Structure 1
């Protein structure tokens, strides 16, 4: 196929290895793309954006394949043109099917038989040179070394001899499967199984299993559901299937294989809500939800010289982001999107809107909020409004929906399924700008005149009604301002300091200013998300239910330093957006749970930067079926329950201990070089670090740090501190020397933490597997989860790389429990 880049077009031989799960080609060196690293496949018209970028003929479109993947921590693209339609269809169909299988395996635990089959084929293929191969002991020993299996030659020889039942001196594929089964034995599970069986004459019966589920796993399943699980894993045959007959529960017992299969299954998922379905009610007003939000969505690099691309929007939307940002400036012909006053490249606003519309509801059906900063002229604002109406069509909210007037609560995500909302600052209601009725009238007349030629009679009537609504809103704000001016003068007279004549005049009369005017066509698109300037958060300042403002993290930190009470109360009935400060030029992220804890709904992060802030955001929005909307804790929502006031909730501080027994890990990944090949000569001496992250002190009575006096294992170390607006406690295990295949620790760590208002959803736990001596380097694997979503008891945690992409075979076996301190 022809590999296309901005600089050249060259022909290469591409190979698709299904067993190894790789795309392979050789240019100056061997190149490899693991199929599980592929983020998206585009072909035909879906990849038109790139074909047009390279200025290639439309004749190539029906043979074009674009592969977007992650390698060495970076997003990369591979553009291919197949030499014929037959080759294109063969590659497109096969690659999509293989990718779908890998993606299914990477959704979490479960599918253990398929996962094992994929892994064993991968090992078999890499151990020899042909499909009809026979493995000698030397080849098996070499394979074990590659897998970082730390067994002595004597132990390997013993396992090899046991698998070579016919004493032929080699292993065929069936023998190799036996060898792998022996190699993957789990003595730590065997020990747990025997401990449970000792409770009932050496048998794991239903009563023992039920006690295990209730007391250790903290299961909320019904009696019947537990019985169904017990039957399922007690009647499994050697091939993993169940029996067809109805068993007698009293005579059943669960075998070690059945118990192991249960612990590894999706029925014992570490993540509560692993079924991937939306399980929270979606009928609350928008302000009752945390909303997955992106900052500078158009960037894939840093804020000064990074590239602006529609890829940023596509990636965010496909990961269920529900609020994207546009910074809009005048373009040569139409408005453009880029980061103002920087060297970042520019995008057509129309192309951005088309990408948003195409990918908006692929992952989640719930509404998209476009947060726009408008820096363009009145004429191009009109063009922007036209573009949005043309591209989004009926999906664009340009008037209140039926039953949800502006005077009442905001609509719910369910009310707005499949809809697009525009949020921008309305200069006519923003306190930062003087209001001039003649300015508004001029804009209205101009826009009406321009639109009259093309608008239908019903549309002109709708626009006329909307113009009247906006005028009434302007008049209401003017009256409020006048009342405020009178009240201020009365206050000054009472104190004996009469206001000067100049100060008593409205600002527009005392000091004429040139106001940045705003297109009424654009104002008409602001319905439930009307941007206004924050005039303060207190009882004196009143905001309409549709008014929302944006605060930088710097401003937000100042507010929180003074106390979060007023802000929390405001956020119960208004939307607020938080964004990173401008000095984060390398696009790093703050920790979003600090601002979620104050009730802020749209806490925007830089999705192009894979740091701890990104990881916590990812962990939050894995919840609720990846809908991009997560219901806020009850204490942060407006409820009708009068029994407890907000202050009582937030004065309720409780200390806990998170006890984590780090038991073992399975098949840790080897480090890879920049081409995707494993580094074979690098030893892995893994240890596990567990950290718990809580929102810092912004509530009355919260403790800046809390250390338990309880002892942890002697091999562990503990640190606890409050730093850069975060509270974190960290502990680690000892290291296991040269074993990345099945290291066993069996160490218990105790992490103290404080929880306010019982908001465990805003406490995050991160498990990090590091190489001993390389604590500052790239971790081997990570897993981050909200404590409210972490299932207790014995669980296998799926492990991810630093870009939060799941490893196909790697897991960490732990036992977790939360105890009162």
Structure 2
């Protein structure tokens, strides 16, 4: 095999073992099979190394995302290697791994059994089979196991399936009054599961799918339904509204995979966030002897050619989501290299690029109108000087190449170029970096301008977008301009980015900026902290666009309501090995815990109800988050977690999919809960007001 890095390509001998991939390296060439999170086949992120026999392995080491690239010498080697690797990943990984052989839900138990099966054995004795069942949270006895002998893998698989009759499901079945007829199921779906969009025909379809021979739902019918895709809450949204009416998943310093002062600049950052559904990426572009390159200025970060970045974006832009990608250009190069940059953008993206307004659409198009297209966000050229009257306030484009989006400086308050009633002769113009006309022609619906406040004397065109740091955004909120900002964001795009002093690429809390209607709240995806966790919960769907609440899209008065959220934490299934587990639920600043479920089995039962009362505007339910963490008593960190906004949290009885600490989805692990949200009335604070 050939191992490919940013610096060189060298031949290596790659060895596959049941638990590891190894190759000779001074740094220790090794990947744990269970740490693999993704396999990318035949997809070099650059043109330079394009090959049908390319393989990228994405894995996690010490909480950090890593990649390793290989090219097979021949087609036969490639096919054999990929087949063997897929088999190992399928057997060893308990995470969802794009690129590996897909596994039907009905076979999850079989994969777990394979992981626990002793190597080299075709059949098990009763003690070993009992131990496997116990690890799956399914205790059994010799009399039961005797019915399945000889205990080969098929027999143990059937035994495990038969043992999964859970008492909590039997309890629910009795409470609902089973066996259940069509009317009872319809009532359950509408009143408990809160599936208000299910019409009679859809209810009949669901009922018939799980009904027994006598035309009713048995306990098995109910259990099968609850674990099926039919019981996964679906949040369909209108994708035909103008872009400013959506929150848009946005990345800051996309080219980095570590800290902004010393991390590596790489196309992997773009690949990763685009596959995660991010729809706005940032490119920080500088001069070099070989043409424009991407890196973080005045730091120790490495660089990557801008063409490689564009090629990677083109390849991965629409893999996870068909909706438009916005490329935010932060240009620090001279006019000649700006022209080169513009030429590269046009050449690489071709017809994907929005170069002119979309025909037959007035104003800003919708995500649906712009499916599969790429928009460029960059600053406009500085307009010619003109005499201004005392009643006119002009907004000039940025005088620096950062388009008021500089991630490393905080000089916004002094850099706004505003003049009231002054002529050019009264105030000497600042020296500004010239802007290439070729580059300036690329933005169509996303032309960068300065933030100039919300005075009635200030006019922003519909295609104008301003970017502010969190410091300026906080000042807007503190100085009483939130209502004006919300109104502005009805019809215009706004971007908020982390302040430049966050050298470790930490994130802010995005919730206050979403609450002000800001669409492009840029997050350091490479940093696993609270801010990125909230962003992950907001954009849990790979679509990358979330329709804003009505009150943030148009004038819609609303009062603060008092709510009660109750979450019944019933049981967990197929957890990673851990002892003495409990669940901690957090809602805003409130938190509560279940009792500890002792033992070592992979399945646990609590059946505890945790309730929270809180006040919020209805629109703010979209950024009030419920965080459920499964923890082991006396051990730091988490075993598994789930997080959603109150608006998106499914109601009723659901199996919640669980993530690990790096927010990688477990393949098998689930948390069985019931979630209810009720309105208690107008909040006392609102009544007094």
- TM-score bracket relative to the smaller structure: 0.7 to 0.9
For the pair 1:208 / 2:126, whether they are aligned, the reply is no
> Could you tell me how far 1:101 is from its partner in structure 2?
12
Shift of 1:340: 1.0
Q: CA deviation at 1:760?
A: 2.5
> 1:369 aligns to what SS in structure 2?
strand
After TM superposition, the structure 1 = structure 2 runs for residues 700-719 of structure 1, keeping only pairs within 5 Å, are none
- Residue 259 of structure 1 is matched in structure 2 by 222
**CA displacement at 1:603 relative to structure 2:** 0.7
Moved more, 213-222 or 505-514: 505-514
In structure 2, do the counterparts of structure 1 residues 106 and 510 end up closer, same or farther at CA, with 3 Å as the change threshold?
Answer: closer
Computing the radius of gyration from Cα coordinates, the structure with the larger value is: 1
1:538 is matched with: 455
CA contact (8 A) 2:181 2:217 kept: yes
**Aligned residue number for residue 319 of structure 2:** 362
Q: How does 1:303-702 map to 2 (within 5 A)?
A: 303-404=260-361, 409-429=363-383, 435-436=384-385, 478=386, 480=388, 483-484=391-392, 506-507=423-424, 510-511=427-428, 513-563=430-480, 564-623=482-541, 626-638=542-554, 645-646=555-556, 648-649=557-558, 652-670=559-577, 683-693=578-588
1-side partners of 2:367 and 2:93: how far apart? 28
Determine the C-alpha separation between the residues in 2 that align with 1:558 and 1:118. Answer: 51
Paired with 1:82 and 1:809, the residues of 2 have a C-alpha distance of: 32
The residue number in structure 2 matching 1:719 is none
Distance 1:635 1:101 in 2: 49
CA separation of 1:779 and 1:118: change in aligned 2, threshold 3 A? same
297 and 48 in structure 1: CA distance in 2 versus 1, 3 angstrom threshold: closer
Q: 2-side partners of 1:224 and 1:553: how far apart? A: 49
SS at 1:581's partner residue?
Answer: coil
- Partner residue of 1:229 out of 187, 203, 206: 206
Offset at residue 66 of structure 1 (A): 2.3
Q: In 1, are the aligned partners of 2:273 and 2:525 still within 8 Å (CA)?
A: yes
Distance, in Å, in 1 between the alignment partners of 2:3 and 2:105 is 32
* Equivalence for 1:68: 58
Q: Would the aligned equivalents of 1:654 and 1:754 in 2 still touch at CA under 8 Å? A: yes
- CA displacement, residues 459-495 of structure 1 (integer Å, 9 cap, x when unaligned): xxxxxxxxxxxxxxxxxxx355665389xxxxxxxxx
How many Å separate the matches in 1 of 2:84 and 2:61? 22
SS of the residue aligned with 2:151?
A: coil
CA distance in 1, matches of 2:314, 2:569: 45
In structure 2, list runs of 5 or more residues that go unmatched: 395-418, 681-689
1:290 aligns with 2:247: yes
The unaligned stretches of length 5 or more in structure 1 are 53-57, 236-246, 274-278, 430-434, 437-477, 487-501, 639-644, 671-682, 694-727
Q: SS at 2:592's partner residue?
A: strand
Indicate yes or no: 2:688 matched with 1:806.
Answer: no
For the structure 1 residues 743 and 621, does the alpha-carbon distance in structure 2 shift closer, same or farther, using more than 3 Å as the test? same
Q: Secondary structure at the match of 1:788?
A: coil
Deviates more, 1:297-306 or 1:415-424: 415-424
The residue number in structure 2 matching 1:13 is 15
Aligned partners of 1:792 and 1:815 also within 8 Å: yes
C-alpha spacing 1:568/1:48, structure 2 compared with 1 (3 Å): closer
Deviations 1:655-705 (CA, angstroms, capped at 9, x unpaired): 1010111111111113xxxxxxxxxxxx52111111124xxxxxxxxxxxx
Query: Which structure has the highest helix share of the two?
Result: 1
Distance 2:442 2:23 in 1: 52
Quick one: distance in 2 between partners of 1:508 and 1:130?
88
- What is the CA–CA distance in structure 1 between the aligned matches of 2:230 and 2:264, rounded to whole Å? 43
Structure 1 CA distance for aligned equivalents of residues 597 and 29 of structure 2:
35
2:652–2:674: 8 Å Cα contact kept in structure 1? yes
Q: Distance in 2 between matches of 1:663 and 1:122?
A: 22
Please say if residues 148 and 738 of structure 1, whose CA atoms lie closer than 8 Å, have aligned partners that are also in contact: no
Task: Summarize the alignment of residues 117-128 of structure 1 with structure 2, pairs less than 5 Å apart.
Answer: 117-124=107-114, 126-128=116-118
Give me the whole-angstrom Cα distance separating, in 1, the residues matched to 2:111 and 2:292.
Answer: 53
Supply the distance in 2 between the matched residues of 1:50 and 1:414 (Cα, whole angstroms).
Answer: 30
What corresponds to 1:86 in structure 2?
Answer: 76
Residue 59 of structure 2 corresponds to residue 47 of structure 1: no
- Asked if residue 161 in structure 1 is aligned to residue 143 in structure 2, the reply is yes
Partner-residue secondary structure (3-state), 2:12: strand
Deviation at 1:3, TM superposition (A): 5.5
**Among 130, 135, 152, which residue is 1:172 paired with?**
152
1:91 counterpart SS class: helix
Distance across 2 between alignment mates of 1:322 and 1:213: 34
- Contact map agreement 2:37 2:664 (CA 8 A) in 1: no
Structure 1 residue 117: Cα displacement: 2.5
Q: CA deviation at 1:31?
A: 5.0
Alpha-carbon offset, residue 298 of structure 1: 0.3
* Partner secondary structure for residue 737 of structure 1: coil
> Displacement, 1:226?
1.8
Give, in angstroms, the shift of residue 83 of structure 1: 5.4
- The structural deviation recorded for 1:122 is 4.1
SS in 1 for 2:104: helix
8 Å contact kept, 2:37–2:97: no
- How far apart in 1 are the matches of 2:421 and 2:518? 36
Q: Distance in 1 between matches of 2:68 and 2:216?
A: 53
Deviations 1:624-662, CA, capped at 9 Å, x for gaps = xx3222211111113xxxxxx55x33xx10010101111
TM-score, L = length of structure 2 = 0.86
Inter-partner Cα distance in structure 2 for 1:103 and 1:125? 8
Give the drift of 1:778: 2.4
- TM-score (structure 1 length as normaliser): 0.73
CA distance in 1, matches of 2:425, 2:275: 47
Following the alignment from structure 1 to structure 2, what is the Cα–Cα distance between the partners of residues 210 and 505?
70
CA distance in 1, matches of 2:205, 2:69: 49
Please point out which of 653, 676, 682 is paired with 1:817.
Answer: 676
Q: 1:99/1:428 Cα in 2 relative to 1: closer, same or farther (>3 Å)?
A: farther
Query: Paired residues, what number?
Result: 647
Q: CA deviation at 1:342?
A: 0.9
Q: Structure 1 pair 85/71, CA: closer, same or farther in 2 (3 Å)? A: same
2:105 paired residue number:
115
Query: For 2:444, what is the secondary structure of its paired residue?
Result: coil
Distance in 2, Cα, partners of 1:42 & 1:229: 38
In structure 1, distance between residues paired with 2:23 and 2:307: 38
CA distance in 2, matches of 1:174, 1:318: 37
User: Given that residues 503 and 510 in structure 1 are in contact (C-alpha distance below 8 angstroms), is that contact kept between their aligned partners in structure 2?
Assistant: no
Secondary structure of the corresponding residue to residue 773 of structure 1: coil
